[in-house]
Structure 1
Amino acid sequence: MGMDPLEVVVCSAALEGTVASGVSDPLGSLDLLAIQAALQSLGIEVNGHTFVPIIPRNITMPARKEM
């Protein structure tokens, strides 16, 4: 038994909007924690074929890397 993908998107957007509006616990329980993370590594290609990650996968956003 799964959820309709469109319903998942709508519910997630509603929760994100509620949290962004300042409501700390929209569901009435303390088990909600919204974390935004990079789903894939972000980086550059060097020497024609080598990928060099700048921001690693699963790092929380916003992210910063200094060199």
Structure 2
Amino acid sequence: MQLVVQRAEMRGFILLDHLDRIPAAMAELEAGVRSGQIRYRTDIRDGFAAIPETFLRLFSGANQGKQLLRNDLAA
């Protein structure tokens, strides 16, 4: 009930409002990845034939982390 009596404010984050901070943020993120403090997942599918399945995984939520397709053009 406190919210009814008090005011609430919600504000979104707009990247364009902070363009001057991007270089510092990128350096900090890179350091975190290199040190292992920040970890990320990749979901790699192989082969040209896997393109439709790989694409659909983006919309079904079946992938974990960044969805990649590896295609060996030499094969």
**Same fold? TM cut 0.5:** no
Structure number with greater CO (CA < 8 Å, separation at least 6) is 2
Structure with bigger gyration radius: 2
TM-score, normalised on structure 2? 0.28
TM-score, normalised on structure 1? 0.30
More helix by share: 2
